[in-house]
Amino acid sequence: MNIVEKEATRFFDDFFRGGKVNNLENLKSKLTTKLYDFNRDRDKLDFLKILRDNTSVALEEHKKICKGGGCRFDDERSTGLFAIDQEIDDINKYYTYEADDMDKFSAVEASDLHSKLNEIEEQLYKHGLGQEIIFNEIDSLKNHFNLGKKTWFQLLKGKVIDLTLEKTLDETIVKEIYPKLSEGFTDIVRQLK
């Protein structure tokens, strides 16, 4: 368990305690104050995700026991989830994920993959597979090189699997696409298997 996880677990235990009424103002104040402990947005988002998960689990478990509904516990946890979601939305407005330096695409690698994606689009169009959904997925991949190599190839793999399962792309075509794109990135692709 890393420091952010430990802090989130400790904070969860105190979040709904403390003597004050757990209304939106007080819960938001506690949460905002705690988030000042973290400088990195990634840490804040991880913290909020853990806090949200723990709060959701506690709320669901309580609903199994408390059949009346609408009790103070439900209201406080729902208000807490609202405050957490507001913080997540606020951070996500300006947060951009950036991969570790070791995992970043170089300009040459990104350009090469971009060209390969364009070639694949042309091939698919020539084969009469010019469905808009396929081109949208390929264009989406062109905009996500900032995710880093490993995450980008996971995204590629997921999109290719989805298109195959939805019968949008034939399996034989997929077997041509993935190796072409992963050429030169064997270490990354091997990690994903």
Contacts 24+ apart (CB under 8 A), 128-131: 129/169, 129/173, 131/168
Q: What pLDDT score was predicted for residue 56?
A: 92
- Residue 36 DSSP class: T
Q: How far lies 72's CA from each of 64, 69, 78, 133, 193, in Å? A: 15, 9, 10, 47, 48
- Token output for 33: 């104050």
End-to-end CA distance of the chain: 26
Query: Chunked in runs of 10, what are the mean pLDDT values of the chain (193 residues)?
Result: 92 85 92 95 93 93 81 90 95 82 86 88 76 81 85 85 75 75 66 52
Q: What pLDDT score was predicted for residue 39?
A: 94
* pTM check: above 0.95: no
